[in-house]
Chain A
Amino acid sequence: MRASWLSTLLGVAASLFLAAFFLLPLAVILWRSLGDTAALTRVASNPFYWQRLGFTAGQALLSTVLTVALGLPGALLFARYAFPGKRALTAAFTIPFVMPTVVAGIGFLALLGPRGLLGVNLRDTLLLVLIAHVFYNYAIVVRVVGSFLEGAAPRLLEAASTLGANAWRATLRVSVPLARPALMAAATLVFLFCFTSFGVILILAPTPRLATLEVEIYQLTAHLLELGQAAVLAVAQLLVVGAVTLLYTRLQAGMALALPARAVSLPRPRGGARAVLGLNLLIAGALILSPLVALAVQALQGPGGHVPSLENLRLAASPSRVIGFAPLGLALRNSLLFATVSSALALLVGFAFAYAVARGRWRVLDQLSLLPLATSPVTLGFGYLLTFPLLVAHPWGIPLAHALIAFPFVARALLPALRGLDPAHGAAAATLGAGPWHTLWRVELPQLGPALLTAASFAFAVSMGEFGATLLLVRPRYATLPIAIYDRLGRPGAQHYGAAMALALVLMVVTGAVMMLLQRRGRSEF
């Protein structure tokens, strides 16, 4: 098909935006680190930083292995069997994926922290960090691998069974080898997220012993003002992350097997499969729900310990005596405002990008859409500080950063939908006299409704929960809910703790409500 002027225009617009607000800040960080040889040698000669690099990679690897160990059986069984409540569970499993880091962190604190419900204090332990990482990423493994297998595997498993393979043999000889590319892709993605883990660590394990590179970059920038050393660390992290992302895109390309997809009614699990599935769902369900429930319980706990009480909410809402603490109303208003602006921006850029990639000659850009996903929020925020010093006084940096962080989610939700449009529709519209612009308005956009809603809900959730970049760019007046929560958590005292819980509950409820309102059945290309 000929590339239309519209796709060229949109492609140029999207590229310019990405160049200005994504590539430029990264280039400035690189320039800064290369220009500062003193910082470079200081970082390279400091064994502490090497230790941090080793720890960051090690914990990410460990988290990935654990997530896969729990997620793979879930994915295999999900793709293979039908059972009552499957759709509700599938939806429930995506909760952690869209829940703000701060909410998950606070949730685990409410469960296993010093004042936790279970009475076991795991704060500042690697174990708690790993549990939180599995919580976050279990859904990625189940969804990526599960949906990959679901389209094809049932037919192939039937074929295997007519050839004499029982359920276990068929899983071993068909499902697992088939799932390998998807599993590797999911594992790579999980590794990426854990490698740049920030909010979870800052909240659950604020000890230098368990700091990731991302946390170090933040400390150097915000507390020590060692911008040169921060730049060097950011570049080091970017190198690792870039390499892993490249691997991910390779693996993802391998998922494009020509699998025969045909709807088959799935059987109910029986016998051993049923026990394994039940156990897996129980563990996953407990892992996902317990921190959220613990958070709700502690948020609604009164001073005497009785539930429910609105005391914590009142504390959170009242203007604080501590300077710079945003009360609930202000933080909520800021969060909603930033989320609205940044979702609109992310949708615009994401749509322009996806349209150019799907319709025009912008295939090269396709790979680029994942880069912001891999680039850590703290690095992005740090890059903005270096590149646009004026942003420090303005609130604009926050929605810009949020839009960029949400961009890959938006692009990846819209791309398959755009690619799935029947090209014959465009051709038919053209023969009926519609140019690309009219075709877009009258034929294509109406068909993209569900995908646009999915994309919008992702963008909104990302912005509501964004923590790392906001933490670097924020001024007290513009504090968002995650920032308000973190501020209170940093202070001693039961009152601050309770207020943090209450704020986290509000954030959880608002994010969940928006997701439920906007979320429609749609698939994104992860």
Chain B
Amino acid sequence: MSLRLDELRKHYAATRAVDGVSLELHDRETLALLGPSGCGKTTLLRLMAGLEPPDAGRLALDGSDITRLPPQRRRFGMVFQDYALFPHLDVAHNVAFGLVELGWSRDAQRRRVGELLTLVGLAGFERRRVQQLSGGQQQRVALARALAPRPEVLLLDEPLSNLDQTLRETLKDELRGLLSSLPVRAVYVTHDQSEAFAIAGRVAIMRAGRIIQLGGREEVLERPRSAWSARFLGHRNLYREEALAAVPGAPRGAAALLRADLTSLLPASADGEPPQGGAVTRATVRRARREGLRWQLALSLPEWSLDVAWEGYARELLGSTPREGSEMRLVVPDGAWLALEGA
């Protein structure tokens, strides 16, 4: 039982908004479509919803072709980026909108609306006008409205992007809890990787209309396939092959990534053998800066003629306060190197 996308394409004039996307969404899972703005992720979502017809390709739900099915007959719930709440209706009527289309009785509608408003923490808000709600509340109403008719698939288009930072953090946690507790499959479009990895079990990275990597969230985060995804995901230590000539244990390939999160620091004075299956090299602090509670260090590795960006908490610095010119040693386990495709 799944939603299958088969070589979906959508072109606008000169842009290939969606350029041959295939993927499968399984029961009860949440999949994130992660990519920078303009990568085609929203268009892909609109193709799934049926709001745009694809130029080519097929969409199948649980085995039956729905490529040409209009949105109103797909039973896909959608949470829009700007929520698109009906301004002429109150909260309860917004949530009940889809139930009316399904021909539910008034009683059943009222029960379901109450159920959903409780679920999203807005019990008692039935008669409020939607314009009177805060951004976060509107977002919850939009979610309740999309969930009310028990959709086959829930589509969320950057649902948190219009909210401020603190609210976003709270709602992110709530959304994760909700989506994992409900028997619903969901596609979550976002450009914010922290949202994608917090909410989804699987993540698809999109670039220029294509999915360039798709996998479980740990896998995608820890093993980016290309230099572009690595950079997009916030990895900072990316090197061309030429730069790694003096580095023992560096992988061969067009480019490589050093996962600084797997490295650790030792005081310069510390003696001893390198840990098993790794290397130790001298490191000079070129710049040290605190961002909040975390230290951001720019390190030079003279033996390897390499610059490395490193970050971590104070305890990982073993009690010393790093400053420009401090000498240390960097422990690089074998698994910290990753070969990448392309530049």
Q: Residues of A with Cβ closer than 8 Å to B?
A: 152, 155-156, 158-166, 169-170, 173-174, 177-178, 180, 257-260, 262
Of B51, B87, B89, which is within 8 A of A162 by CB? B51
Interface centre among A169, A174, A180, A260, by most chain B C-beta atoms within 10 angstroms, is: A260
8 of the cross-chain contacts (CB-CB < 8 Å) are A152-B87, A161-B72, A162-B77, A162-B146, A163-B98, A177-B88, A178-B87, A257-B131
Please report whether the interface of chain A is mostly helix, strand, loop or mixed according to DSSP.
helix
Do the beta carbons of B87 and A159 come within 8 Å of each other? no
- Using A159-B86, A174-B86, A178-B88 as known contacts, list a sample of 18 further A-B pairs with CB atoms less than 8 Å apart, ordered by residue number in A: A155-B80, A155-B82, A156-B84, A159-B78, A159-B84, A160-B86, A161-B51, A161-B70, A162-B51, A162-B155, A163-B97, A163-B146, A164-B98, A164-B102, A166-B72, A169-B101, A170-B72, A260-B83
- Least Cβ distance of B122 to chain A in Å? 18
Near A by CB (< 8 A), chain B positions 127-186 give 131, 145-146, 149, 155
A interface footprint on B74-100 (CB within 8 Å = 1, 0 otherwise): 111110101111111100000001101
Contacts of A258 in B (CB 8 A): 87, 131
Do the beta carbons of A159 and B101 come within 8 Å of each other? no
Do the beta carbons of B149 and A260 come within 8 Å of each other? no
Q: Residues of B with Cβ closer than 8 Å to A?
A: 49-51, 70-78, 80, 82-89, 97-98, 100-102, 131, 145-146, 149, 155
- Least Cβ distance of A241 to chain B in Å? 30
- Least Cβ distance of A169 to chain B in Å? 7
Of B80, B102, B131, B149, which is within 8 A of A159 by CB? B80
Of A161, A163, A257, A259, which is within 8 A of B145 by CB? A163
- Least Cβ distance of B84 to chain A in Å? 4
Do the beta carbons of A262 and B82 come within 8 Å of each other? yes
Contacts of B100 in A (CB 8 A): 173
Contacts of B98 in A (CB 8 A): 163-164
Of A152, A162, A180, A257, which is within 8 A of B71 by CB? A162
Q: Residue on A with the closest CB to B46?
A: A158
Of B76, B97, B155, which is within 8 A of A173 by CB? B97
- Least Cβ distance of A145 to chain B in Å? 14
Contact A156-B102, Cβ < 8 Å, known A161-B72, A162-B77, A164-B149? no
Report the separation of the CA atoms of residues A208 and B108 in the bound assembly, to the nearest whole angstrom: 62
Task: Please list the 7 inter-chain residue pairs (A to B) with the smallest Cβ-Cβ separation, ordered nearest first.
Answer: A163-B98, A164-B101, A159-B84, A161-B71, A162-B78, A260-B82, A155-B84
Do the beta carbons of B101 and A163 come within 8 Å of each other? yes
Contacts of A174 in B (CB 8 A): 86, 88
Report the separation of the CA atoms of residues A161 and B73 in the bound assembly, to the nearest whole angstrom: 8
Contacts of B73 in A (CB 8 A): 164
Do the beta carbons of A163 and B80 come within 8 Å of each other? no
Report the separation of the CA atoms of residues A262 and B88 in the bound assembly, to the nearest whole angstrom: 18
Report the separation of the CA atoms of residues A165 and B84 in the bound assembly, to the nearest whole angstrom: 15
Q: Residue on B with the closest CB to A158?
A: B51
Contact A158-B71, Cβ < 8 Å, known A163-B97, A163-B98, A178-B87? yes
Do the beta carbons of B87 and A257 come within 8 Å of each other? yes
Report the separation of the CA atoms of residues A258 and B85 in the bound assembly, to the nearest whole angstrom: 10
- Least Cβ distance of B143 to chain A in Å? 13
Contacts of B145 in A (CB 8 A): 159, 163
Contacts of A173 in B (CB 8 A): 97, 100
Of A158, A164, A166, which is within 8 A of B80 by CB? A158
Report the separation of the CA atoms of residues A173 and B80 in the bound assembly, to the nearest whole angstrom: 19
- Least Cβ distance of A491 to chain B in Å? 55
Report the separation of the CA atoms of residues A169 and B146 in the bound assembly, to the nearest whole angstrom: 18
Q: Residue on B with the closest CB to A261?
A: B82
Contacts of A161 in B (CB 8 A): 50-51, 70-72
Report the separation of the CA atoms of residues A268 and B63 in the bound assembly, to the nearest whole angstrom: 30
Contacts of A165 in B (CB 8 A): 72, 97, 101
Do the beta carbons of B76 and A166 come within 8 Å of each other? no
Contacts of A163 in B (CB 8 A): 72, 77, 97-98, 101, 145-146, 149
Contacts of B82 in A (CB 8 A): 155, 260, 262
Report the separation of the CA atoms of residues A156 and B51 in the bound assembly, to the nearest whole angstrom: 12
Interface centre among A155, A158, A159, by most chain B C-beta atoms within 10 angstroms, is: A159
- Least Cβ distance of A119 to chain B in Å? 48
Contacts of B88 in A (CB 8 A): 174, 177-178, 180, 257
Report the separation of the CA atoms of residues A348 and B108 in the bound assembly, to the nearest whole angstrom: 62
Q: Residue on B with the closest CB to A174?
A: B86
Report the separation of the CA atoms of residues A160 and B100 in the bound assembly, to the nearest whole angstrom: 11
Report the separation of the CA atoms of residues A160 and B146 in the bound assembly, to the nearest whole angstrom: 10
Q: Residue on A with the closest CB to B97?
A: A163
Contact A162-B49, Cβ < 8 Å, known A257-B131, A258-B87, A260-B84? yes
Report the separation of the CA atoms of residues A159 and B70 in the bound assembly, to the nearest whole angstrom: 13
Report the separation of the CA atoms of residues A259 and B87 in the bound assembly, to the nearest whole angstrom: 7
